[in-house]
Chain A
C-alpha cells in the first residue's frame, strides 16, 4: 500500500515537471518587463472580450498546462501510456522553457535578428489580427487535401489492383507509372492550370497524381507478393476468382497499401503547399506568400504553426485507421 502511494507521489512529480516549463513561460510573459519599446501589442475584440497577443499567449499556455495535467491524470491507469508520459516529461519541460527563452529574446528584449525571429506572442498575433482570414485559408487547404488525397487513394489502390492482378495491365501501365512516378507532381502545374476549369481543381489534380504513384506501385507489389499457397487454400475451400482477389490478394496487400499511403501523405503535404504558393486563390501556402510580400514573418510562422498542427492531426488519424485495419498484425514481430 505504501509503495503504491509512493508511486502516485512520484508520478505526480512527473506531471508537475511536465507543466513546469509552461508555468515558467506564463510567469515570464506576465512579469518580465517589456524592455524593447518598439513592440506594442494592440487589443482586439474577440468573442472572449478584448484581448492582446500577450494575453492570448498566456491563455494558450494555460490550456497547455491544463491539457497536460489532465492527460497525465488519464494516463495514470494505463501502464504503457504512463511510461510514455514519463518519457516525454523532459521534452515538454524543455518546450516550455524554450517558449520562455524565445519570449525574452524575441519579444521582451528583441536581441534576435528582426523581423525574422518574432517572439511567441507575436506569432500568435495574426490569429487576433485576421483570425477569419486565417480560418478561411486553413479550410481551403483542408478541402484541397481531402479532395486530392481521397481521390488519390482511390485511384492509387484501383490502379495498383489492376497492375498487380492483370498481367496485361502490368505490362502496359507499370512502365508509365515508373517513369511518371519520379516526376514531382508540381511540375505539371502549368498544364494543370490550363487543362482544369478552376485553380482548385488543378491543385486537386496535382495532389491526386502525387498520391497516386506510391500507392499504386505499393498496392501492386502487395498483391503480387501474395503466396501461392494462400490462393490454393482459398481454391480448396471453394473460392472463385473474385474471392481470391478480394479476400486473399487485397487483405494480403493491406500492410503495403498503408506504406504507400504514408509516403503519399508526405508527398501530398508538399504538393499542397507548393501548389498553393504557385497560384491558388487561397490556402495556407497562399497566406504565406501574401505575408512574405509584406515581410510579415510573424504571419509566416503563424501559418507554419497551423500546418504543423493540421498535418500532425491528419497523420494521427491515418495512423489510427491503419492500426485498426491492420489489427491482425499486432504482436507480429516485424
Chain B
C-alpha cells in the first residue's frame, strides 16, 4: 500500500461554529493504481487531497504515505491544482523546471525538461508565458511541472473541469499513457462520471455534509476502454443511479 488513510476527520471552525467537512475517511491505494473520487461540489474532495499532500492537517486519524505519516508537503506527492497555478512570470520551460530548481537538482536533470514538455505535447511553446496559453495547455504544463519531480503519487483536483471535451479526452489519454509508462499511482477528483469510468481501477463515491465515503466500486473493464462499449455504458448508468441515491436529499443541478 502506497497510501493509507485511516479514520480521518476534518472540521473547520467558522464564526466559532465547528463545521464537519470530512468524517471517518478510510481509503487505501495500491502502487500503480488509478483511483477516482466523485462527489458533489462541497463534499470535501479538495480538503481530502490537501490532507494527503500535507498542505492541511487532519483533526483526527492519520495518513500514511509509504508507511510514514504525512506531516508536510513533499515532492514525492505531486499535486495538480483545480486552477493550474502556474508561475505567471516564468516561461513554460521554466515553469516545468521549477521543481528541479526548488530542489536544487537542476543541473543534473536539465535534460529532462524538454522530455516532459514533449511528453505533454507542448513542443514549440517552451518560451511562451502562461497567459499566452489556453486553459488546456496551461493544465498540461502543470502536469509536466509535477511529473518532472518523478512523484510516486500524483493527486489531481478536477484538472479538466474547465476544459472542452476534446481537450479533456486528449489529456485523459495522456495521463493513462504516463501512468502505464511510469507505473505511477494516481488519485483523481472529478465530477464527471464518464471520466471516472474511462480512467479508473476503482471509483470512490463521496457524499456531502459531512463528507464521507459512501461506496467504492471496482471497474473491471480492460484498458484501453471504449466509451461507447456495452460494459462502459452499463457501469456509467449504474454509477449515475448510485450517485442519485447517494445524494438522496435533492441536489440542485447547479451544485454539480
Interaction A to B: yes
A235-B55, A251-B89 are known contacts. Are A229 and B83 too (CB-CB below 8 A)?
Answer: yes
Max chain B C-beta neighbours (<10 A), residue from A233, A238, A243: A233
Within 8 A of B (CB), among A237-253: 237-240, 243, 247-248, 251-252
Chain B interface main SS type: loop
CB of B85 within 8 A of CB of A237, answer no
CB of B53 within 8 A of CB of A236, answer yes
A254: Cβ under 8 A from any B Cβ: yes
Q: Which chain B residues lie closer than 8 Å to A240 at the CB level? A: 102
CB of B83 within 8 A of CB of A235, answer no
Q: Which residue of A lies closest to B74 (CB)?
A: A238
Chain A interface main SS type: helix
A87: Cβ under 8 A from any B Cβ: no
A309: Cβ under 8 A from any B Cβ: no
A238, chain B: closest CB distance, angstroms: 4
A230-B85, A251-B87 are known contacts. Are A237 and B102 too (CB-CB below 8 A)?
Answer: yes
B41: Cβ under 8 A from any A Cβ: no
Contact of B73 among A235, A254, A330 (CB under 8 A): A235
B17: Cβ under 8 A from any A Cβ: no
Q: Which chain A residues lie closer than 8 Å to B53 at the CB level? A: 236
Query: In the assembly, what is the distance between CA of A251 and CA of B81, in Å?
Result: 21
Contact of B98 among A232, A247, A330 (CB under 8 A): A247
Contact of B102 among A243, A328, A329, A330 (CB under 8 A): A243
Q: Which chain A residues lie closer than 8 Å to B86 at the CB level? A: 233
CB of B89 within 8 A of CB of A328, answer yes
Query: In the assembly, what is the distance between CA of A234 and CA of B89, in Å?
Result: 14
Q: Which residue of B lies closest to A230 (CB)?
A: B85
Query: In the assembly, what is the distance between CA of A238 and CA of B149, in Å?
Result: 9
CB of B73 within 8 A of CB of A247, answer no
CB of B98 within 8 A of CB of A236, answer no
Q: Which chain A residues lie closer than 8 Å to B101 at the CB level? A: 243, 247
CB of A237 within 8 A of CB of B89, answer no
A232-B55, A234-B102, A238-B75 are known contacts. Are A328 and B129 too (CB-CB below 8 A)?
Answer: yes
Q: Which chain B residues lie closer than 8 Å to A113 at the CB level? A: none
Query: In the assembly, what is the distance between CA of A248 and CA of B85, in Å?
Result: 12
B103: Cβ under 8 A from any A Cβ: yes
CB of B145 within 8 A of CB of A237, answer yes
A265, chain B: closest CB distance, angstroms: 23
User: What are 15 residue pairs bridging A and B, where the CB atoms are less than 8 Å apart in the complex?
Assistant: A229-B81, A230-B85, A230-B87, A232-B55, A232-B73, A237-B99, A238-B75, A238-B99, A238-B103, A238-B149, A240-B102, A243-B102, A251-B87, A328-B89, A328-B90
Q: A236-B55, A238-B149 are in contact. List 11 more A-B contacts (CB 8 A).
A: A230-B87, A233-B87, A235-B55, A235-B73, A236-B75, A236-B146, A237-B99, A239-B98, A251-B90, A252-B89, A330-B129
